[in-house]
């Protein structure tokens, strides 16, 4: 078999066989197939597509390229969640302890933020002392003893995916549904997941900006799950405006803690309950979604979710006092209130613009490896559809640099679109694929 023939077959719109896909990914992983062939292949896949069978084979070939975490000795059925990334998406911080409190052990390997999307690891590192570099043995021990783990990727999971992603990033081959779907699913499967709740974000602050594209991606991931023996539920959730109010690392941790205490913004609370309910149901801990949701709500109401979060922070070396006194988390030196110039109805809180304002302040990264400032960010106070009076507080900008503050403040104000006529609130969800 020759790599050029596999590339040419896909170029001509052909369906690659299981053997061809394995040959290509295996050769690419060990360097026998050079980057220039892999990038031509990735472009052919981007423009010609892949069917569900091919994408499942690609996913499994990437899983086989590295190590695989086996959680079967620790949990009955390993359930995980994954978000395609959005602005203000701190869902993992609430959902994982809540699900753990419902009796479902959850161990998750998260990533760092890049561009608009924040990363769970960056958020957790707002907590003084919190370690995100657990070794595989520590991961398993903590999962067994505490029932919840949130750390970075310590095993060499799906290295083919890592290598391919780095290449796609510089060759214009990121926006391909089969390549995105196989990338997400290969890491989940290699990390030992047997069931996954996927949170596919749609809107101006998400990678998928059209519902059509998001649905296609969701269907593809559900199909990979079917082919790989992994239960998958995909939620299509709105990312036109930020999720919840807080955007920025420590600010988001505070909002997550508030939510675990029974507070938190209504949209974010609802989102956490739904994701947690799907996870509890997939884990077989509830007969149906309604009962699962009841368990999740109870875990918030009775404080067991918060207790799990405290146990998680303590187990990973973080200061548990921050959980009870969130003001101990890093705080920015400057705060500026952004107020409405005119009254009316809020027609848009442009998620991408709010995300960019947060990156401008130093909360996110333009390039991999850039340092970040955990204290800064933006807190919005209104949702699309809200009635606004002139002078109403729209958002608060938390900054450590006066120039960045000016730039971010202008961006945050411009991100709020106010119209005289009434505006319908945005839905939280556009559908569920399973």
**Residues with catalytic annotation?**
82, 161, 168, 183, 187
> Of the candidates 16, 21, 25, 44, which one interacts with a copy of itself according to CB under 8 A?
44
Q: Could you write out the DSSP letters of every residue in 10-49? A: HHTTPPPPHHHHHHHHHHHHTTSS-HHHHHHHHHHHHHH-
Residue closer to a copy of itself (CB basis): 4 or 266:
4
> Of the candidates 26, 35, 319, 407, which one interacts with a copy of itself according to CB under 8 A?
35
**Token reading at 152:** 């970075």
Residue closer to a copy of itself (CB basis): 36 or 425:
36
Residue 348, phi then psi, degrees to nearest 5: -165, 140
Residue 7 touches a copy of itself, criterion: CB under 8 A: yes
Q: Could you write out the DSSP letters of every residue in 62-124? A: HHHTSB----TTT-SS-EEEEE---TT--HHHHHHHHHHHTT--EEEE----BTTB--HHHHH
Using CA atoms, how far apart are residues 417 and 415, in angstroms rounded to an integer? 6
* CA-CA-CA-CA torsion sign (247, 252, 254, 259): positive
Contacts to a copy of itself from residues 135-174, by CB under 8 A: 167, 169-173
**Token reading at 334:** 């400057």
Residue closer to a copy of itself (CB basis): 22 or 168:
168
| DSSP symbol at 67 | B
> Of the candidates 11, 131, 219, 331, which one interacts with a copy of itself according to CB under 8 A?
11
Least Cβ distance, residue 6 to a copy of itself (angstroms): 8
Residue 39 touches a copy of itself, criterion: CB under 8 A: yes
Shortest CA distance to 269 belongs to which of 280, 282, 278, 260? 260
Residue 3 touches a copy of itself, criterion: CB under 8 A: yes
Q: Which spans in 68-158 are helix H?
A: 91-101, 120-124, 136-145
Residue 120 touches a copy of itself, criterion: CB under 8 A: no
127 near 318, Cβ under 8 Å?
yes
Residue closer to a copy of itself (CB basis): 29 or 396:
29
> Of the candidates 34, 129, 263, 284, which one interacts with a copy of itself according to CB under 8 A?
34
Q: Give 8's contacts (C-beta < 8 A, 6+ positions apart).
A: none
Residue closer to a copy of itself (CB basis): 14 or 344:
14
Site string for a copy of itself, 64-83 (x = CB under 8 A): --------------------
| DSSP symbol at 65 | T
Least Cβ distance, residue 430 to a copy of itself (angstroms): 24
Name the segment binding a copy of itself (CB under 8 A); options: 33-41, 67-75, 236-244, 373-381: 33-41
Shortest CA distance to 139 belongs to which of 210, 80, 64, 196? 80
b/e code 275-309 from CB counts within 10 Å (16+ = b): bbbbbbbbbebbeeeeebbbbbbebbeeebbbbbb
**Angle in degrees, CA 125, 126, 130, rounded to 5:** 45
Name the segment binding a copy of itself (CB under 8 A); options: 46-54, 287-295, 352-360, 403-411: 46-54
- Collapse the DSSP code of 159 into the 3-class scheme (helix H, G, I; strand E, B; otherwise coil) and give the result: helix
Least Cβ distance, residue 163 to a copy of itself (angstroms): 11
Number of residues that bind a copy of itself (CB under 8 A): 27
Site string for a copy of itself, 171-200 (x = CB under 8 A): xxx---------------------------
Residue 213 touches a copy of itself, criterion: CB under 8 A: no
Name the segment binding a copy of itself (CB under 8 A); options: 36-44, 79-87, 180-188, 366-374: 36-44
> Of the candidates 1, 4, 32, 335, which one interacts with a copy of itself according to CB under 8 A?
4
**347 CB burial (10 A radius; 0-12, 13-18, 19+):** middle
Residue closer to a copy of itself (CB basis): 36 or 427:
36
Side-chain half-sphere CA neighbours of 313 within 13 A? 25
Contacts to a copy of itself from residues 278-317, by CB under 8 A: none
Residue 208 touches a copy of itself, criterion: CB under 8 A: no
Interaction site with a copy of itself (CB under 8 A): 3-5, 7-8, 10-11, 34-44, 46-48, 167, 169-173
């Amino acid at each position: 078999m020759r790599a050029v023939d596999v590339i040419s077959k896909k170029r001509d719109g052909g369906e690659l066989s299981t053997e061809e896909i394995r040959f290509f990914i295996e050769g690419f992983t060990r360097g026998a197939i050079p980057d220039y062939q892999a990038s031509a292949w990735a472009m052919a896949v981007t423009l010609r597509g892949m069917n569900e069978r091919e994408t499942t084979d690609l996913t499994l070939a990437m899983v086989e390229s590295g190590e695989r975490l086996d959680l079967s000795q620790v949990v009955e059925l390993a359930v995980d969640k994954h978000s395609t990334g959005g602005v203000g998406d701190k869902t993992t911080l609430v959902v994982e302890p809540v699900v753990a409190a419902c009796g479902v052990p959850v161990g998750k390997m998260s990533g760092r933020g890049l561009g608009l999307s924040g990363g769970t690891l960056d958020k957790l590192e707002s907590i003084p002392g919190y370690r995100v570099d657990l070794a595989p043995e520590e991961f398993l021990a903590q999962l067994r003893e505490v029932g919840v783990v949130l750390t970075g990727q310590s095993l060499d999971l799906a290295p083919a995916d890592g290598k391919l992603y780095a290449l796609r990033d510089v060759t214009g081959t990121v926006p391909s549904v089969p390549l995105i779907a196989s990338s997400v699913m290969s890491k989940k499967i290699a990390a030992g997941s047997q069931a996954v709740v996927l949170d596919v974000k749609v809107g101006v602050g998400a990678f998928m900006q059209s519902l059509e594209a998001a649905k296609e991606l969701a269907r593809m991931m559900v199909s990979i799950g079917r082919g790989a023996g992994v239960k998958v539920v995909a939620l299509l959730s709105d990312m036109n405006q930020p999720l919840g109010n807080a955007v920025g690392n420590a600010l988001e941790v505070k909002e997550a803690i508030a939510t675990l205490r029974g507070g938190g913004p209504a949209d974010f609370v609802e989102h956490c309950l739904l994701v947690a309910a799907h996870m509890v149901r997939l884990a077989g801990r509830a007969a149906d979604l309604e009962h699962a949701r009841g368990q999740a709500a109870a875990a918030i109401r009775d404080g067991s979710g918060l207790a799990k979060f405290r146990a998680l922070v303590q187990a990973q070396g973080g200061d548990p006092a921050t959980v009870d006194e969130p003001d101990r988390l890093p705080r920015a030196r400057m705060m500026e209130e952004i107020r409405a110039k005119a009254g009316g109805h809020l027609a848009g809180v442009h998620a991408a613009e709010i995300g960019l304002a947060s990156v401008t302040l130093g909360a996110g990264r333009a390039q991999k490896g850039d340092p970040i400032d955990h204290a800064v960010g933006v807190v919005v106070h209104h949702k699309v559809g809200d009635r606004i009076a002139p002078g109403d507080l729209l958002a608060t900008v938390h900054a450590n640099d006066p120039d960045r503050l000016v730039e971010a403040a202008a961006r945050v104000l411009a991100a709020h679109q106010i119209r005289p006529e009434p505006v319908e609130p945005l839905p939280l969800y556009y559908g569920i694929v399973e």
